[in-house]
Amino acid sequence: MRKKDPKISKIFINRELSWLEFNQRVLEQGQAKELPLLERMKFLSIVSSNLDEFFMVRVAGLMQQSSAGLRKRDPAGLTANEQLELISKRVGRMLAEQAMAVNEILEELAKNNLCILRRKDWSDSQAEYLSDYFSTELMPVLTPLAIEELNPPPLLPGRQLNVALAIAERAAGKKVKKIIIIPVPGIFRRFIEIPSQNSTALVPIEDIIAAYAYRIIRDKEVISSAFFRILRDADLTIQEEEASDLISMIEQVVFERRRRAAVRLTVSGGGDSYIKNWLIDWLELDHRFAYLSDTLLDSAALMEIVNRKDFDKLKITDWPPQKPSDLLYSEDIWQTVQDHDVLLSHPYESFEPIIDLLEQAAEDPAVLAIKQTLYRTSKDSAIVKSLEKAAANGKEVTVLVELKARFDESRNVNWARRLEDAGCHVIYGVVGLKTHAKALLLIRREDSLIRRYAHLSTGNYNEFTSKIYSDVALMTCDSDITKDVSTFFNLLTGSSETYDFSKLTIAPIGLRKKIVELIERERLVSTPDRPGLIMAKLNSLEDKEICQALARAGSSGVKIRLNVRGICCLRPGIKGLSSNIEVVSIVDRYLEHSRIFYFNNAGHSEVYISSADWMRRNIDKRLEILIPILSAKHKERLTEIMRICFEDNSNCWILQADGSYKRKKTSHKRVRAQETFWNYALAAVRKASRPNLRFKPITEEKQA
Amino acid sequence: MNLGERTEKQAVSSTLAAIDIGSNSIRMAIGQILPDGRVETLEQVQRAVHLGQDTFRRGRLGRMVMRSAVAILKEYLRMLKLYDVRHIWAVATSAVREAVNSEIFLDRVLMTTGMEINLITPPEESRLTVSAVRLSLGNRTKLFKGKTLIAEVGGGSTILTVLNNGKIAGSQSLYLGAVRLQEVFTTGGETNEQAAQIIKTEVESVLDAVQSIIPFDKIDNFIAIGGDVRCAAKLISAAEDEKEPFNIIKKEDLAALIEKLTAKKPEQLVRQYHLSIADAETINTALIVYEAMLRRTKTEVLAVSKVSMRDGLIIELAQRIAGKEDKTAAQGVIDSATALARKYKVNLKHARHLQMISAKLFDLLSSEHGLSARYRLLLEAAAILHEVGIFISGRSYHKHTFYLIVNSEIFGLTQSEVQMVAHIARYHRRSRPKASHIEYMSLTREKRIIVNKLAAIIRLAGALKVSAEQELEGLKFAIKKDNLLITIPGRRDLLLRRSSLERQSDMFTDVYGLSPLL
């Protein structure tokens, strides 16, 4: 193998460390004093759920690599083991910071009459109430496990909270120390509300169990107790043989996940480290990934408090989604899309029109067929209901259900079956490639002519996430684009083995080539007096070839402005290599999720939206779509969206050459991109609802 | 009794589809006729199935390939439903045509999908392809200056058409198909390079043999058709211009590509170039054939057309639906039928009179029968050919007429259309269609109705016994209430004609509910 070019590895940041920096930005939102308490708590909760997934997938993968003895280095030049070492330390610091922030918020919440009562805080009467609660509600469902006496040893599932007790038992006249584990049953809420005057009092369920557990293990002395939580490897390696078997295989995988290796342990309380050390041994865990915590474990559960219906004054004010500006004057959506393309900017603009469109299509006799990709969809999805109804009404409904949506498999399987029962043609994607594109195609007959309507989005067809992810989508009946979408579905359904795309670019067929060509073209048309400009807004930038192309273009004078919410492996600001590259990241109330690309192209600018991030997996291992924006008005609007993102100085971080991020300082004029977008949406609706002040010919008035 | 009046009329849909069952794949194009008459392509699909492998090696289609072909057609049927397509033209070429059990296959397809597949002949393929190429050129006909060779290397055969300044000078079908070459001449045991060498040698010897028919060395322009060569154009990234109907491949680029592809296995091609498996298996062999031909011509480049025979099918089908039959194509059918009639020494004057009277009646009754202009053409062909059976014997000559037509080729008509023509001609006299007529009963119900409608016309026209030119000119028809009024100038033999009319108008009255009055 060729030796790594140190110059090349210099411009790369390790992917995992870059992701951790993203989580750090989420954490910093949790520390932001100017935000309402429950909003801060939401971010702190997300830090935890993010980390869980990171460990179960990424760290687990690295551990597999490391234990397999792979010495392969990543583009930044690190081996798996070196990465694990760095991750262990970085996560340690992060968890400590997070715990501090959580404790601080809990204190503040108490001042606002929302009290989380730990064991030490209980009054006598409260203790009495909880003791009763334990006996009547909890005790019947608890299953204490004397681990050492069980053969084979039980498998504790990952992500579950457990209470561990170190007990002393008399055996043969000697005192023997033993461990009892009581899994916290998942059927209860994490926080039990108890009667309280003047305030809301919540008690963590694990505290109740720990306090009264001695009643279950009679005659034994509890020496110490602790709470702990394990994360296990969840890497799915599925042998895809036949698509039809996929469902049963996934169900198998969900089951098998329980028996995978432990990748992280968090322990809280316990006083001495006896329980922690015992667990590390028992789990055969890499000791670098055992963490002690001095706050509530599984902070993701704090979401339960955030989602309470009360305490509005501790939350952010609502920004209700507005009617999309392109649809303000629309009476008939079919007609509107025929007249002009429609650009949607969610969640500032409502996702409802899409739900309505599908509902309407299900009943519309002119609609012949509906094709749609469903990747992750919400519970009780109105979209799924519409598709069922459409099938019942005799329309040809084809739904691509992507089963490999990481942690939603069991839910996906359920509604996939439901759609099948309703008579939809359900397919499970192309072997070996995950379908990540979001596309909807409606085939309609209008006066004996077939017209096709496409909706192409950067976000999933999920009513819930459409309210909290920022995405853009295009609706069009441009015949080239709709034909391409049709071909795309043929590719998914295996109806065809040849495919010709005229306007869309599809991964893994031509996307890599196309993006590299676009960047390369920008480099070639760039001149010193008219330097090129590339702007890209995306979630992650990791692909090595694209990073190198960007660096090459940058060092030839092209200005490169990247707005990358999460992972960014391209290191900016290295003299002679990447000094022309600027990377910013926005973390705000909505998850930045849209992918928009701008190429100046010597004044003939081109703008694209896409379902794909610039990551190797998206470009080579997934089915994705790159969509050119044709309308000048929409190109301008998307360019404006990107411009405002770069101007943000309240929720924006700048990537430094050392790989860390610095929060932008608010200068004299405060700009908050997400607020600006919402104000735009609001202003457009207000303008439309004002009485019509448009110019009218005088002759008409005279006649009146 | 108005037999199935609505069979043709109810389909007002503007969507149409062409299906092409080839040697190694089944392709389908779905389109729609736009208000301005252009056809917009809605879908183009292709699925691999190795029909040719069986036919070219063993002479028959095996159970497995038949099953997969039917499965693919079923899947296509679902897609046709998406667009509510009712006009379908499904054709099969050499792999099915040459299989001894093609009838079984066609029947199975009909039973499971309701699709009727037409077996088309090489001249038919050539005609459809040329008309598609013509249309794609629009008014840029300068490519047709001098001698132009249009070639399509298919799975089973290579179809060559030579144009002289744009006019078809001749066409030729060679047994040089990519699948056939591989199946017949290679065993799979050779290295890629050896196999390519074997195929090259075979191609050269076939081309040497046809040099006298196809003057390769005089060819000025070479237009290549076919999925394989289109693929090649993409791989070479030939200068792509959306507005131009061709991609140009240079001679040396083609040779270089063949060399590159020879070194790779089909699976590698699928992975590396995202080819479909069907294309990957045949591309190199097909390119070898194109290259061998190109080397013999005067031109240095291959003009790769973006159209295919399917486009020709779609265009013609669209014209039929719109009732705008391509005049030249229709004339070709008449010419071919006339040539056939001449061959069997038919009284051509008589035949032409019957043709004209039948056509007149057809037009007059158009709202009664609701049939498109395509059926007028079939009726005319039947009229021209109605007496060919006399060549065999004057006794029961209508029966001889039937089998002579059934076993003939009429340029521009499909096999099933030729069959209809035979039936119409057969029933121009004597017995009406009966359940005991096996050939008649083997037609689909729709076709039987059409045969009835058209035979009734030709029968009536025959009964009029019009022979003189002036009679023909003055002949007039009019519909009044339940009567068809017939006026013949001259009033000669009126009595005789009335009795002849009485004997032969029973069928007409049954079908159209009109009593002819002379």
A436 is catalytic: yes
Quick one: tokens of A151? 């053969």
Quick one: tokens of B477? 């028809």
The chain-wide mean pLDDT, for chain B, equals 85
**Of A558, A640, A644, the residue nearest A601 (C-alpha):** A558
Helix (DSSP H) and strand (DSSP E) numbers for chain B: 23, 14
Residues A477 and A440: beta-carbon distance below 8 Å: no
Q: Which residues on A lie below 8 Å from B15 (Cβ)?
A: 450
Residues A495 and B45: beta-carbon distance below 8 Å: yes
Residues A569 and A541: beta-carbon distance below 8 Å: yes
State the residue for tokens 């759920």.
Answer: A49
- Sheet of strand B167-174, all strands in order from the earlier edge strand to the far edge: B167-174, B158-164, B147-153, B221-225, B301-305, B246-250
pLDDT < 70 stretches in chain A: 1-8, 235-259, 270-271, 376, 378-379, 404-412, 691-704
Closest residue in A to B273 (Cα) is A509
Render pLDDT for B501-514 as a digit per residue (tens, 0 to 9): 888 888 888 888 88
B→A contacts (Cβ < 8 Å), by residue, are: 12-15, 25, 32, 34-35, 40-48, 75-76, 78-79, 81-84, 227, 242, 274, 276-279
Facing B83 at nearest CB: one of A425, A443, A498: A443
Q: Which residues pair with B172 in a beta bridge?
A: B160
Render pLDDT for B120-133 as a digit per residue (tens, 0 to 9): 888 788 888 888 88
- How far CA A428 is from CA of A225, A489, A502, A506, B46, in Å, comes to 47, 12, 26, 18, 20
Sign of CA pseudo-dihedral A76, A79, A82, A87: positive
Quick one: tokens of B199? 């195929």
Q: Which residues on B lie below 8 Å from A496 (Cβ)?
A: 44-47
Residues A35 and A316: beta-carbon distance below 8 Å: yes
Residues B200-223 have a mean pLDDT of: 88
State the residue for tokens 């699976």.
Answer: B267
Q: Which of A436, A455, A593, A634 is catalytic?
A: A436
ipTM of the predicted assembly exceeds 0.85: no
- Sheet of strand B15-21, all strands in order from the earlier edge strand to the far edge: B39-48, B25-33, B15-21, B87-92, B117-119
Instruction: Give the span between the Cα atoms of A535 and A472, in whole angstroms.
Output: 16
> At B266, phi and psi to the nearest 5?
-55, -40
Render pLDDT for A504-531 as a digit per residue (tens, 0 to 9): 999 888 899 999 999 999 999 999 999 9
Is a pLDDT exceeding 80 seen at residue B324? no
Cβ contact, residue pair B44, A496, below 8 Å: yes
Cβ contact, residue pair A450, B14, below 8 Å: yes
State which of A174-178, A319-323, B146-150, B400-404 shows the largest mean pLDDT. Answer: A319-323
pTM (two decimals): 0.81
Q: Give the DSSP letter string of A129-166.
A: HHHHHIIIIIGGG---EEGGG-SSPP-PPTT-EEEEEE
Altogether, the residues listed in chain B come to a count of 518
A462 Cβ contact partners less than 8 Å away, ≥ 6 residues apart? A376, A377, A378, A381
What does the pLDDT read at residue B9? Answer: 35
End-to-end CA distance of chain B: 22
Closest residue in B to A425 (Cα) is B78
Burial of B410 (0-12, 13-18, 19+ CB in 10 A): buried
Instruction: Give the span between the Cα atoms of A6 and A354, in whole angstroms.
Output: 50
- How far CA B157 is from CA of B177, B179, B186, in Å, comes to 4, 9, 17
SS3 annotation, B166-215: CEEEEEEEECCCHHHHHHHHCCCCCCHHHHHHHHHHHHHHHHHHHCCCCC
Burial of A12 (0-12, 13-18, 19+ CB in 10 A): buried
Instruction: Give the span between the Cα atoms of A660 and A22, in whole angstroms.
Output: 10
Quick one: tokens of A460? 């999933």
What does the pLDDT read at residue A429? Answer: 77
Q: Which residues on A lie below 8 Å from B48 (Cβ)?
A: 497
Cα A465-A473-A330 angle, rounded to 5 deg: 105
Closest residue in A to B242 (Cα) is A502
Cis bond upstream, residue B516 (ω within 30): no
Quick one: tokens of A226? 């602790």
- How far CA A600 is from CA of A526, A560, A595, in Å, comes to 9, 11, 17
State the residue for tokens 């899409």.
Answer: A354
Is a pLDDT exceeding 80 seen at residue B119? yes
Same fold, A325-498 and A507-689: yes
Is a pLDDT exceeding 50 seen at residue B26? yes
Q: Which residues on B lie below 8 Å from A495 (Cβ)?
A: 45, 47, 75-76, 79
Q: Give the DSSP letter string of B470-500.
A: HHHHH-EEEEETTEEEEE-TT-TTHHHHHHH
Instruction: Give the span between the Cα atoms of A61 and A18, in whole angstroms.
Output: 17
Instruction: Give the span between the Cα atoms of B150 and B161, in whole angstroms.
Output: 5
End-to-end CA distance of chain A: 86
Burial of B209 (0-12, 13-18, 19+ CB in 10 A): exposed
What does the pLDDT read at residue A250? Answer: 42
**Strand residues in B251-386 grouped as ranges (E):** 301-305
Q: Which residues on A lie below 8 Å from B274 (Cβ)?
A: 509-510
The size of the A-B interface in CB pairs under 8 A is 63
**Of A581, A572, A587, A592, the residue nearest A652 (C-alpha):** A587
Q: Would you give the distance in Å from CA A109 to the centre of its chain? A: 27
DSSP H/E element including A514: helix A511-525
Cβ contact, residue pair A497, B46, below 8 Å: yes
Render pLDDT for B75-106 as a digit per residue (tens, 0 to 9): 999 899 889 898 999 999 989 999 999 999 99
Q: Which CATH superfamily is domain A325-498 in?
A: Endonuclease Chain A (3.30.870.10)
A144 Cβ contact partners less than 8 Å away, ≥ 6 residues apart? A180, A181, A182, A213, A216, A217
Burial of A158 (0-12, 13-18, 19+ CB in 10 A): buried
Domain A507-689 matching CATH 3.30.870.10: the answer reads: yes
Is a pLDDT exceeding 70 seen at residue B492? no
Facing B83 at nearest CB: one of A450, A490, A502: A450
Instruction: Give the span between the Cα atoms of A510 and A670, in whole angstroms.
Output: 41
Helix (H, G, I), strand (E, B) or coil at A179: strand
Confidence of residue B426 (pLDDT cuts 50, 70, 90): very high
Cβ contact, residue pair A479, B277, below 8 Å: no
Q: Give the DSSP letter string of A549-593.
A: HHHHHHHTT-EEEEEESS-B-BPP--TTTTTTEEEEEE-SSSEE-
Cβ contact, residue pair B43, A452, below 8 Å: no
Instruction: Give the span between the Cα atoms of A250 and A404, in whole angstroms.
Output: 8
State the residue for tokens 């968890």.
Answer: A95
A184 Cβ contact partners less than 8 Å away, ≥ 6 residues apart? A160, A161, A162, A163, A205, A206, A209
Q: Would you give the distance in Å from CA B26 to the centre of its chain? A: 17
- Domain map (residue ranges) of chain A: 7-314, 325-498, 507-689
Instruction: Give the span between the Cα atoms of A501 and A479, in whole angstroms.
Output: 12
- The fold of the A7-314 domain, in CATH, is polyphosphate kinase like (3.30.1840)
Give the closest-approach CA distance of B18 to chain A in angstroms: 15
Render pLDDT for B161-179 as a digit per residue (tens, 0 to 9): 888 887 777 778 888 888 8
Is a pLDDT exceeding 80 seen at residue B494? no
Instruction: Give the span between the Cα atoms of A543 and A58, in whole angstroms.
Output: 17
What does the pLDDT read at residue A594? Answer: 97
